[in-house]
């Protein structure tokens, strides 16, 4: 243990940020707002909270560090607890949706920005915090942007209470904004021209190689490139940027399959995935050195772009894509889209290869397509559905959301559309005030439509099933369908398939899984992803707990009257409905878009009068996933205000 502590101390002192320790402490002590810019891996996220703690800035409240991603919050808290030398949950903790390890004693708390927004509901001046560090500011997620405005106003309110009202019981709030990209002026301007501090990092040159031809399948291209690097290049690990869990897992399998054919004299190539739904031991693996003579290939989402720095990377494979929340302003549908990254993201990604030595970055796209990328990522607030944001704002007392101090103001039309949808969900009344339903929805740990489903399920007495289906929808998919065994997998799935669609198919699968007590062999034979299933059970447990806490009985069941639960989904997802057309296509009721049922759906190729779906994903066309059949007569009941308006 002592040797480990020594190692950690050495590591801390070797980080580029260490030389700036004193000046950072001084600046934060002397200023209300500070902006810190530093190369990824320089030590901002893990060190600055510790410096401030060591300097006594946690004497009157906790130091909070917000993160856009849960994985990052967990991982960083664990690391910093280790460096501080106390078990996780004592001096250092984390708090993310459905999982809180922090305690009253926590002096450093890593949290998602969503959780901090929720805390605002019960602690409007965030009095438990002395310092709030807004990390990864360059990502400009919706939540970070709202937090910016809220925290800025809280700081002002607290200082007014101290200076104007002479309140002795209130302490001032310090704000630190941290970013990995250089365009920090905007943050500084917004926070009263705060001082910007630049932390220089170490960077070695990275050679960029583009493909000559556009690649039709970047997963396949990444596979080939990984093996080329492994066989031809110097030692050093590979980092592949992919868009999500599904892709990561499919590449992981492919690598394992191909590795069998490597000549005996070539060492192993070990895939190491990282994504949110993993257990922590697996996540920690990406930080452990590969055994001698072998090479790791880390398969990551853009978590590895700036949030988490993985050591020993010399090769980066950049697919040029990421998943981002998109919002189609014309039809008003929100969805997760696989989209091209920005130039600034591409540069961040390639930079990951040059942290410890000169590196190589393989961009799986042509130079021409790089030139066509946007310069910077467009702030999420300009692209996405604002409803959760508006609910949070209203619930924290911001009535006139159109006048909120946004860093980038969302479009008026987007705001109005969201207000309209919230009104249709009965979250807002005729005057735009939060209703009782709206207040409940704002407190729910799920997005407004899901919250509405749960509230409706209380009325219809089927909360058990509603919770189960929502939990099942919280993972990408509970099924596995390896490309080599697709037919077998499809056949296995038939057993669970409900003719009424995916919601009940998922439920059937869960029931079968539970009757087999989650047996792993059974899962394998039936192509059920047991890891995802365990995650589903986790989420279910959390939702049950939440419902109990707010007085909804989570055990109320509709028995076999499944229509009832589908109607509840319709109450939340009435905007995600489509009608069968004479030409056998489906047209969405809102926006009149032609949508195609995804091949993975149990309704693929089926003709039903009307359907409700969980999400819309645009790849080559508008695919809908999580699809169930409904009767068109149910539609007007589900949201009379909405359909009344739209058809008028
Ligand atoms: P920044 O926020 O400036 O990007 P961080 O503070 O996240 O930098 O990381 C500083 C260093 O700590 C990096 O070199 C990284 O490799 C190391 N590090 C962070 N988390 C872990 C971990 N869980 N295990 C081992 N090393 C870690
Ligand atoms: Mg960081």
**CA-closest residue to ligand 1 atom 15:** 309
Largest Cα–Cα distance in the chain? 76
- Mean pLDDT, to the nearest integer, of 292-303? 92
Q: Hey, is 548 helix, strand or coil? A: helix
Q: Among 318, 264, 316, 269, which residue's Cα sits nearest to residue 290?
A: 269
The per-residue DSSP string of 602-637 comes to TTTT---SEEEEEEEEESSSEEEEEEEEE-HHHHHH
The pLDDT of residue 646 is: 45
Task: Identify the DSSP state of 399.
Answer: -
The per-residue DSSP string of 373-385 comes to S-SSPPPGGGTS-
Residues in contact with 260: Cβ distance below 8 Å, sequence separation at least 6, in sequence order: none
355-377 burial code (b ≥16 CB/10 A, e <16): beeebbbbbbbbeeebeebeeeb
Determine the distance separating the centroid of ligand 2 and the alpha carbon of 144, expressed in angstroms: 15
Determine the distance separating the centroid of ligand 2 and the alpha carbon of 628, expressed in angstroms: 42
Please answer whether residues 572 and 451 qualify as being in contact, where contact means their C-beta atoms are separated by less than 8 angstroms. Answer: yes
Q: Among 197, 198, 195, 199, which residue's Cα sits nearest to residue 31?
A: 195
- Mean pLDDT, to the nearest integer, of 357-372? 96
> Rounded CA gap, 368 and 617, in Å?
26
The pLDDT of residue 435 is: 95
Whether pLDDT at 278 is above 80: no
Q: Among 213, 513, 560, which residue's Cα sits nearest to residue 364?
A: 213
Contact 46 CB / ligand 1 (< 6 Å): yes
* CA 535 from centre of chain: 15
**CA-closest residue to ligand 1 atom 23:** 79
**CA-closest residue to ligand 1 atom 24:** 287
Contact 283 CB / ligand 1 (< 6 Å): no
> Rounded CA gap, 177 and 458, in Å?
42
Whether pLDDT at 30 is above 60: yes
The pLDDT of residue 187 is: 93
Whether pLDDT at 477 is above 80: yes
Contact 352 CB / ligand 1 (< 6 Å): no
Q: Hey, is 342 helix, strand or coil? A: coil
**CA-closest residue to ligand 1 atom 13:** 41
Enumerate the β-bridge partners of residue 131.
63, 174
> Rounded CA gap, 118 and 412, in Å?
25
The pLDDT of residue 468 is: 96
Residues in the chain: 648
Decide which of 53 and 388 is more confident: 53
Tell me the two tokens of residue 72: 């990052």
Contact 201 CB / ligand 1 (< 6 Å): no
Residues in contact with 105: Cβ distance below 8 Å, sequence separation at least 6, in sequence order: 90, 91
Tell me the two tokens of residue 5: 């502590």
Q: Which ligand is nearest the CA of 41, by number? A: 1
The pLDDT of residue 332 is: 42
Determine the distance separating the centroid of ligand 1 and the alpha carbon of 77, expressed in angstroms: 11
400 C-beta neighbours (distance < 10 Å), count: 9
> Rounded CA gap, 609 and 115, in Å?
40
The pLDDT of residue 510 is: 98
Summary mean pLDDT of the chain: 90
Range with the poorest average pLDDT among 348-362, 464-478, 627-641: 627-641
Return the percentage of the chain with pLDDT > 90, whole number.
64
> Rounded CA gap, 452 and 616, in Å?
19
Q: Which ligand is nearest the CA of 51, by number? A: 1
- Mean pLDDT, to the nearest integer, of 462-485? 90
Ligand 1 pocket test, candidate residues 79, 83, 306, 356, most atoms within 8 A of CB: 79
Q: Residue 451, exposed/middle/buried by CB under 10 A (0-12, 13-18, 19+)? A: buried
Decide which of 222 and 398 is more confident: 222
Task: Identify the DSSP state of 489.
Answer: H
Decide which of 461 and 114 is more confident: 461
Please answer whether residues 194 and 27 qualify as being in contact, where contact means their C-beta atoms are separated by less than 8 angstroms. Answer: no
Residue 337 — pLDDT band, cuts 50, 70, 90? low
Give the tens place of pLDDT for each residue, 568-586.
999 999 999 999 999 999 9
Please answer whether residues 644 and 633 qualify as being in contact, where contact means their C-beta atoms are separated by less than 8 angstroms. Answer: no
Ligand 1 pocket test, candidate residues 46, 67, 79, most atoms within 8 A of CB: 46
Give the tens place of pLDDT for each residue, 479-493.
988 878 888 998 999
Determine the distance separating the centroid of ligand 1 and the alpha carbon of 233, expressed in angstroms: 26
Contact 311 CB / ligand 1 (< 6 Å): yes
Q: Which atom of ligand 1 is nearest to the CA of 135?
A: 2
Please answer whether residues 313 and 299 qualify as being in contact, where contact means their C-beta atoms are separated by less than 8 angstroms. Answer: no
Q: Which atom of ligand 1 is nearest to the CA of 40?
A: 4
Determine the distance separating the centroid of ligand 1 and the alpha carbon of 342, expressed in angstroms: 24
ipTM here: 0.98
The pLDDT of residue 334 is: 45
44-76 burial code (b ≥16 CB/10 A, e <16): bbbbbbbbbbebebbeebbbbbbbbbbbbbbbb
Determine the distance separating the centroid of ligand 2 and the alpha carbon of 46, expressed in angstroms: 7
> Rounded CA gap, 540 and 621, in Å?
32
The per-residue DSSP string of 268-323 comes to PEEEEEE-TTS-HHHHHGGGSPPPTT-EEEEEE-THHHHT-PPTTEEEEEE-SEEE
The pLDDT of residue 336 is: 59
- Mean pLDDT, to the nearest integer, of 499-518? 96
> Rounded CA gap, 507 and 498, in Å?
9
**CA-closest residue to ligand 1 atom 19:** 309
> Rounded CA gap, 208 and 320, in Å?
13
Q: In the block, which residue shows the tokens 């407004």?
A: 448
φ, ψ dihedrals at 628, nearest 5°:
-135, 150
The per-residue DSSP string of 357-373 comes to S-EEEEESS-HHHHHHS
- What CA–CA distances, in Å, run from 93 to 88, 97, 176, 501, 612? 6, 14, 19, 41, 40
Whether pLDDT at 644 is above 90: no
Q: Hey, is 93 helix, strand or coil? A: strand
Contact 43 CB / ligand 1 (< 6 Å): yes
Q: Which residues surround ligand 2, an ion (CB under 5 A)?
A: 44-45
Q: Which ligand is nearest the CA of 136, by number? A: 2
Please answer whether residues 69 and 276 qualify as being in contact, where contact means their C-beta atoms are separated by less than 8 angstroms. Answer: yes
The pLDDT of residue 149 is: 93
- Mean pLDDT, to the nearest integer, of 373-399? 81
Contact 245 CB / ligand 1 (< 6 Å): no
Whether pLDDT at 630 is above 70: yes
Task: Identify the DSSP state of 171.
Answer: -
Whether pLDDT at 12 is above 70: yes
Sign of CA dihedral 395, 646, 621, 469: positive
The pLDDT of residue 384 is: 65
Tell me the two tokens of residue 610: 């009307």
Return the percentage of the chain with pLDDT > 70, whole number.
96
Enumerate the β-bridge partners of residue 372.
none
Please answer whether residues 103 and 89 qualify as being in contact, where contact means their C-beta atoms are separated by less than 8 angstroms. Answer: yes
Tell me the two tokens of residue 158: 């607290």
Contact 345 CB / ligand 1 (< 6 Å): no
Whether pLDDT at 643 is above 70: no
Give the tens place of pLDDT for each residue, 57-111.
999 999 999 998 888 999 999 999 999 999 999 999 999 877 888 888 899 999 9
Whether pLDDT at 647 is above 60: no
Determine the distance separating the centroid of ligand 1 and the alpha carbon of 46, expressed in angstroms: 6
Q: Report the chain's terminal Cα–Cα distance, integer Å.
A: 71
**CA-closest residue to ligand 1 atom 17:** 309
Contact 250 CB / ligand 1 (< 6 Å): no
Whether pLDDT at 329 is above 70: no
Q: Which helix (H) or strand (E) holds 62?
A: strand 62-67
Whether pLDDT at 277 is above 70: no
Determine the distance separating the centroid of ligand 2 and the alpha carbon of 45, expressed in angstroms: 4
Q: Which atom of ligand 1 is nearest to the CA of 46?
A: 6
Tell me the two tokens of residue 569: 């989904």
Whether pLDDT at 535 is above 70: yes
419 C-beta neighbours (distance < 10 Å), count: 19
pTM over 0.80: no
133-148 burial code (b ≥16 CB/10 A, e <16): bbbbbbbbbbbbbbbb
Q: What angle do CA 131, 133, 134 make, to 5 degrees?
A: 145
Enumerate the β-bridge partners of residue 335.
326
HSE at residue 127, side-chain half, CA atoms within 13 A, is: 10
Please answer whether residues 398 and 369 qualify as being in contact, where contact means their C-beta atoms are separated by less than 8 angstroms. Answer: no
The pLDDT of residue 326 is: 57
């Amino acid at each position: 243990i002592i040797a480990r502590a020594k190692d950690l101390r050495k590591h801390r002192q070797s980080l580029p940020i260490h030389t700036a320790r004193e000046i950072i402490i001084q600046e934060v002590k002397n200023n209300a707002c500070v902006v810190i810019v530093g190369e990824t891996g320089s030590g901002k996220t893990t060190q600055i909270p510790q410096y401030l703690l060591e300097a006594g800035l946690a004497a009157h409240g906790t130091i909070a560090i917000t993160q856009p991603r849960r994985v990052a919050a967990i991982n960083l808290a664990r690391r910093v607890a280790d460096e501080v030398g106390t078990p996780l949950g004592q001096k250092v903790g984390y708090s993310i949706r459905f999982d809180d390890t922090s305690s009253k004693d926590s002096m450093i708390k890593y949290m998602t920005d969503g959780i901090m927004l929720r805390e605002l509901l019960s602690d409007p001046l965030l009095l438990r915090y002395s310092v709030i560090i807004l990390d990864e500011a360059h990502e400009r997620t919706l939540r970070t942007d709202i937090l910016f405005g809220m925290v800025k106003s809280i700081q002002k309110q607290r200082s007014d209470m101290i200076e104007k009202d002479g309140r002795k019981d209130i302490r001032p709030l310090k704000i630190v904004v941290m970013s990995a990209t250089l365009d920090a002026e905007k943050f500084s301007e917004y926070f009263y021209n705060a001082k910007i501090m630049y932390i220089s990092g170490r960077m070695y040159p990275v050679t960029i190689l583009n493909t000559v031809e556009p690649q039709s399948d970047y997963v396949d291209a990444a596979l080939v490139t990984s093996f080329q690097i492994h066989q031809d290049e110097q030692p050093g690990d590979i980092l592949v940027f992919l868009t999500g869990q599904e892709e990561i897992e499919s590449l992981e399998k492919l690598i394992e399959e191909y590795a069998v054919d490597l000549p005996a004299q070539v060492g192993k190539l070990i895939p190491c995935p990282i994504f949110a739904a993993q257990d922590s031991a697996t996540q920690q693996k990406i930080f452990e050195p590969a055994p001698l003579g072998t090479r790791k290939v880390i398969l990551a989402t853009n978590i590895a772009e700036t949030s988490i720095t993985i050591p020993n990377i010399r090769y980066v494979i950049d697919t040029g894509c990421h998943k981002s929340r998109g919002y189609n302003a014309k039809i008003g549908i929100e969805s997760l889209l696989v989209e091209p990254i920005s130039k600034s993201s591409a540069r961040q990604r390639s930079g990951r290869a040059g942290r410890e030595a000169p590196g190589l970055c393989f961009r799986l796209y042509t130079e021409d397509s790089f030139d066509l990328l946007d310069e910077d990522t467009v702030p999420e607030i300009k692209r996405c559905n604002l409803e959760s944001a508006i609910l949070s704002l209203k619930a924290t007392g911001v009535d006139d959301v159109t006048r909120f101090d946004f860093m980038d103001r969302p479009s008026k039309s987007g705001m109005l559309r969201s207000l309209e949808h919230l009104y249709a969900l009965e979250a807002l009344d005729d005057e735009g005030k939060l209703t009782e339903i709206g207040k409940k929805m704002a407190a729910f740990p799920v997005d407004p439509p899901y919250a509405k489903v749960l509230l409706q399920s209380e009325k219809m007495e089927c909360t058990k099933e509603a919770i189960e289906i929502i939990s099942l929808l919280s993972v990408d998919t509970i099924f596995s369908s390896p490309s080599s065994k697709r037919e077998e997998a499809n056949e296995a799935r038939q057993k669970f398939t409900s003719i009424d669609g995916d919601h009940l198919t998922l439920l059937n699968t869960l029931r079968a899984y539970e009757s087999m007590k989650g047996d792993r062999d059974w899962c394998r034979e039936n192509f059920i992803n047991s890891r995802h299933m365990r995650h589903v059970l986790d989420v279910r447990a959390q939702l049950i707990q939440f419902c109990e806490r707010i007085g909804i009985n989570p055990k109320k069941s509709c028995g076999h009257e499944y229509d009832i639960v589908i109607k509840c989904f319709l109450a939340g997802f009435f905007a995600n409905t489509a009608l069968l057309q004479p030409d056998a296509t489906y047209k969405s009721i809102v926006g009149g878009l032609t949508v195609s049922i995804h091949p993975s759906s149990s309704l693929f190729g089926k003709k039903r009068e009307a359907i409700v779906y969980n999400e819309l994903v645009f790849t080559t066309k508008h695919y809908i996933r999580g699809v169930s059949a409904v009767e068109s007569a149910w539609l007007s009941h589900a949201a009379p205000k909405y359909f009344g308006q739209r058809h008028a």
